[in-house]
Amino acid sequence: MLTRLNVASIYVLDKDEALDFYVNKLGLEKGSDFKQGDYRWLTVRVPGNPDVEINLEQPGPPLHDEATAEQIRELISKGALSGLVFHTDDARALYETLQERGVTDFTQEPIDHFYGTDMGLRDPFGNAIRILERKNAAAATA
């Protein structure tokens, strides 16, 4: 029996730039960051939620040959690869905060729906990020 999702991976074009965006702009915290030879294992996670980590993966050796890496990079920059969905307790406040931190690539400003308030943005590389403030969050988590 599976018990939990532990790590999900997304592709980014540059690990340092990704770390800066996901931590300093979006507000995640750094999880793991260590090197094994040439390979850097780098994850971020929602503060206070250490069980689920997002692995920031960069196409290229040793995972991919250069031609494969190039295809993946093109797909990332077309917005055709990864996406993440987060929850927030206040979508509009977060929208303001993100703007103050210099985030400009919003795909959707906060909009109210029957299920809550959601918004959308992209990371610097083209990956889609959705953020949802659920209505009746207590009932929904039950």
Partner 1 sequence: MSRDVEDLNRRLLRARDAMDRAYAEPLDVRAVAAVAYISEAHFIRSFRAAFGETPHRYLQRRRVERSMFLLRETDRSVTDICFDVGFMSLGTFSRTFREIIGETPSSYRDGHEPMVAPNCVQMWAMRPRVAAGAATAADNAVQSSSFGEAGSAAAP
Alpha carbon distance 52, 128 (integer Å): 19
x-or-dash pattern for partner 1, window 31-50, by CB under 8 A?
Answer: --------------------
* Binder of partner 1 out of 63, 111, 137, 140 (CB under 8 A): 111
> Residue 2: how many CB atoms within 10 A of its CB?
5
Nearer to partner 1, 28 or 119 (CB): 119
Nearer to partner 1, 45 or 73 (CB): 73
Alpha carbon distance 124, 71 (integer Å): 18
Nearer to partner 1, 24 or 77 (CB): 77
Pairing of strands 128-134, 116-122: antiparallel
Question: For the chain, what's the residue count?
Answer: 142
Alpha carbon distance 22, 16 (integer Å): 10
Alpha carbon distance 83, 126 (integer Å): 9
* Binder of partner 1 out of 48, 113, 138, 141 (CB under 8 A): 113
10 binds partner 1 (CB under 8 A): no
Alpha carbon distance 18, 125 (integer Å): 8
Q: Find the part of the chain contacting partner 1 (CB under 8 A) among 19-27, 30-38, 39-47, 101-109.
A: 101-109
Residues at the site binding partner 1, with contacts judged by CB under 8 A: 13, 70, 73-74, 76-79, 105-108, 111, 113, 115, 118, 120, 122, 125-126, 130, 132
